[in-house]
């Protein structure tokens, strides 16, 4: 199926308020780090797959028009992908297709957002709601996910502590990640449980922070890989799927479109039992409960078993399938870059370049992205072997 493609370089900016740099400078920082990571220069880049989330975040329509040159896209083929929260994943997948199709050999995928340019990202997120039916009680993302979370809790009888525990696990992992935003020494269950309830069942601890960040990945065709690096992350499977918002029998606790994406990606990667075969997963858990829902979505366990899987400790750093060694989206969420961070972290794991958050001997990893009105999902599976 197409040409084999590998990720050879990854560049990340820190997730924080970048008060000291403009949007082009932020993007450039990620891109220069990705180029340095694999020893390429901007001249080697043949095309750019550009991602950024809703324009209302920064108030700039068609941001790629302004920002692409800061990504080395001057007089190169550039197009922008925009799929909401999944955009980082969608842009990475766009980068994959640009190479796998045979059109280009070396492609840069870059995605980011500077959420601190707006007074509140929730105003921008509120404009996701349908203007005719929904925006009248425009409530941003947390309340929509609160509905999803309560649905999940009540459907399967999990108590409130599961979300808190998932949050704590991620926050503790984030201590190993130099790019994460929320790094609280000694973070524990009591601290999380004592945070204020913002919208039931979500406490402050259940939510992601607001970050400025960009992330870049360099995709290279099979025959160019060995010259660039001896530690590539081979793309083994990709999928980006959509469900809807209106469809009948929709159950927010059962993301059927994520299951479908996983099935497509596993088929491409030749994975039959993801729980056994995968070595590490990076999930887009912008809210704590989603960690459990996504376990089920990507087929690590049956519907409703996510909490039980968590109980077994399998997904802890010490378990057999660590989830979010980086601390996940719960500890850093720029929206535009977040889904690409998941892919990039997954790639770094199989490259063996994840530093203090490295899962030893990781050979097969999965990076996930979530977006839209809880309806878009992206998955990339990376392997240290072709």
Partner 1 sequence: MDSNQYRVLEGNISVPYRWTPGDIYGRFLGGLKEKKILGFRCPECKKVYAPATDICTACYYGFKPEDQVELPDAGVVKSFTVVRANLWPPKPDPEVVAKAIAPTKLEDHPLLWPPAPPYALVSVKIEGADTEFIHMVKGERNLGKLKVGSKVKAVWAEQREGYLLDLDHFEVA
Partner 2 sequence: MERKAAIVGWAQSPIVERDERIHKTEMIGRTVQAALDKSGLSIGDIDTVISASCDTMDGASISNVFVVESMGGFMKEESKVEEDGAYAALYAYLRLLTGHHKTALIVAHGRVDTPPQFYSWMMTDPFLLRPLGVEMVSAFALQANSYLSRYNLDERPAAKVVVKNRANGVRNPNTQVRIPISEAEVLKSPVLASPIKLADASPRSEAACALILANGDLARKITPNPVWIEGVGYNHDLYYLGHRDLARPESLARAARMAYAQAGIRNPRKETDFAEVYEPFSFSELMICEGLGLAEAGEGRKLVEKGIANLDGAYPVNASGGALCGNPIFVAGLLRMVEAARQLTGQAGEYQIKKDIRRGLVHATSGFCLQSNIVYVLGRDEAKPKPVQARKQVKDKVKKTGKAAKKAASRKPVRKKKAGRK
Tell me the per-residue interface mask from 66 to 85 with partner 2, x by CB under 8 A, - otherwise.
xxxx---xxxxxxxxxxxx-
Contact 27, 67 (CB under 8 A): yes
Using rule CB under 8 A, residue 6 touches partner 2:
no
Using rule CB under 8 A, residue 333 touches partner 2:
no
* Residue 72 partner contact from partner 2, partner 1, none using kind-dependent CB cut-offs of 5 to 8 Å: partner 1
Smallest gap from Cβ 26 to partner 1, in A, equals 8
Q: Rounded to whole angstroms, how far apart are CA atoms 200 and 289?
A: 12
Smallest gap from Cβ 42 to partner 1, in A, equals 4
Backbone dihedral angles phi then psi of residue 135, each to the nearest 5 degrees: -70, -15
Smallest gap from Cβ 286 to partner 2, in A, equals 14
Q: Rounded to whole angstroms, how far apart are CA atoms 143 and 138?
A: 10
Considering only the stretches 13-21, 188-196, 268-276, 331-339, report the one whose residues sit in contact with partner 1 under the rule CB under 8 A. 13-21
Q: Rounded to whole angstroms, how far apart are CA atoms 78 and 241?
A: 23
Helix (H, G, I), strand (E, B) or coil at 133: coil
Considering only residues 357 to 386 of the shown chain, the ones binding partner 2 according to CB under 8 A are 371-373, 375-376
* Residue 118 partner contact from partner 1, partner 2, none using kind-dependent CB cut-offs of 5 to 8 Å: partner 1
Smallest gap from Cβ 124 to partner 2, in A, equals 6
Using rule CB under 8 A, residue 103 touches partner 2:
yes
Q: Which of 164, 162, 187, 189 minimizes the C-alpha distance to 176? A: 187
Considering only residues 86 to 145 of the shown chain, the ones binding partner 1 according to CB under 8 A are 114, 116-119, 123-124, 127, 131-132, 135
Using rule CB under 8 A, residue 46 touches partner 1:
no
Smallest gap from Cβ 56 to partner 2, in A, equals 5
* Residue 376 partner contact from partner 1, partner 2, none using kind-dependent CB cut-offs of 5 to 8 Å: partner 2
Nearer to partner 2, 203 or 343 (CB): 343
Contact 381, 366 (CB under 8 A): yes
The H or E element that residue 214 is part of is strand 212-221
Tokens of 312: 């077994």
* Residue 114 partner contact from partner 1, partner 2, none using kind-dependent CB cut-offs of 5 to 8 Å: partner 1
| Binds partner 1 (CB under 8 A): choice among 30, 34, 70, 92 | 70
Burial of 232-242, coded b for 16+ CB within 10 Å and e otherwise, reads bbbbbbbbbbe
Burial of 82-105, coded b for 16+ CB within 10 Å and e otherwise, reads bbbbbbbbbbbbbbbbbbbeeebb
Nearer to partner 2, 119 or 356 (CB): 119
* Residue 20 partner contact from partner 2, partner 1, none using kind-dependent CB cut-offs of 5 to 8 Å: partner 1
Smallest gap from Cβ 76 to partner 1, in A, equals 11
Considering only the stretches 52-60, 151-159, 187-195, 270-278, report the one whose residues sit in contact with partner 2 under the rule CB under 8 A. 52-60
Nearer to partner 2, 192 or 220 (CB): 220
Q: Rounded to whole angstroms, how far apart are CA atoms 216 and 38?
A: 12
Pairing status of strand 212-221 against strand 106-114: antiparallel
Using rule CB under 8 A, residue 19 touches partner 1:
yes
Residue with tokens 């045979």: 102
Burial of 284-297, coded b for 16+ CB within 10 Å and e otherwise, reads bbbbbbbbbbbbbb
The H or E element that residue 87 is part of is helix 87-100
* Residue 102 partner contact from partner 2, partner 1, none using kind-dependent CB cut-offs of 5 to 8 Å: partner 2
Q: Measure CA of the first residue to CA of the last residue in the chain; give whole Å.
A: 13
* Residue 245 partner contact from partner 2, partner 1, none using kind-dependent CB cut-offs of 5 to 8 Å: partner 2
Using rule CB under 8 A, residue 247 touches partner 2:
yes
> What are the Cα distances from residue 81, in Å, to 6, 111, 230, 341, 359?
20, 9, 30, 16, 31
Query: Which residues make up the interface to partner 1 (CB under 8 A)?
Result: 18-25, 28, 32, 41-42, 56, 58-59, 69-70, 72, 74, 114, 116-119, 123-124, 127, 131-132, 135
């Amino acid at each position: 199926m197409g040409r084999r493609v590998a990720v050879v370089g990854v560049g990340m900016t820190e997730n924080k308020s970048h008060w000291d740099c403009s949007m082009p400078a932020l993007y450039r920082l990620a891109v220069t780090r990705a180029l340095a990571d694999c020893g390429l220069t901007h001249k080697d880049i043949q095309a750019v797959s550009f991602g950024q989330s809703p324009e209302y975040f920064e108030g700039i329509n068609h941001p790629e028009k302004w920002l692409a040159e800061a990504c080395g896209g001057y007089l190169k083929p550039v197009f922008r992908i925009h799929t909401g929260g999944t955009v980082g994943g969608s842009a990475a997948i766009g980068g994959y297709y640009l190479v796998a199709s045979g059109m280009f050999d070396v492609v840069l995928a870059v995605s980011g957002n500077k959420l601190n340019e707006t007074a509140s990202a929730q105003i921008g997120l509120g404009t996701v709601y349908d203007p005719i039916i929904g925006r009248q009680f425009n409530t941003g993302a947390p309340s929509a996910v609160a509905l999803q979370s309560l649905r999940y809790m009540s459907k399967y009888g999990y108590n409130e502590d599961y979300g808190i525990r998932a949050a704590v696990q991620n926050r503790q992992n984030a201590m190993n990640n130099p790019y994460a935003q929320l790094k609280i020494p000694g973070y524990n269950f009591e601290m999380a449980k004592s945070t204020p309830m913002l919208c039931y069942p979500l406490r402050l601890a259940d939510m992601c922070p607001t970050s400025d960040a960009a992330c870049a990945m360099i995709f290279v065709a099979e025959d160019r890989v060995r010259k660039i690096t001896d530690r590539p992350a081979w793309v083994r499977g990709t999928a980006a799927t959509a469900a809807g918002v209106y469809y009948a029998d929709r159950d927010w606790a059962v993301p059927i479109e994520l299951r479908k994406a996983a099935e497509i990606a596993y088929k491409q990667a030749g994975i039959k039992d993801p729980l056994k075969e995968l070595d590490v997963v990076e999930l887009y858990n912008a809210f704590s409960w989603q960690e459990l829902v996504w376990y089920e979505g990507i087929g690590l366990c049956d519907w409703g078993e996510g909490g039980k899987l968590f109980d077994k400790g399998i997904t802890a750093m010490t378990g057999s399938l660590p989830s979010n060694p980086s601390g996940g989206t719960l500890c850093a969420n720029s929206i535009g870059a977040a889904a690409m961070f998941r892919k990039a972290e997954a790639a770094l794991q199989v490259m063996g370049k994840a530093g203090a958050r490295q899962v030893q001997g990781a050979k097969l990893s999965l990076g996930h992205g979530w977006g839209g009105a809880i309806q878009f999902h992206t998955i990339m599976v990376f392997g240290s072997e072709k």
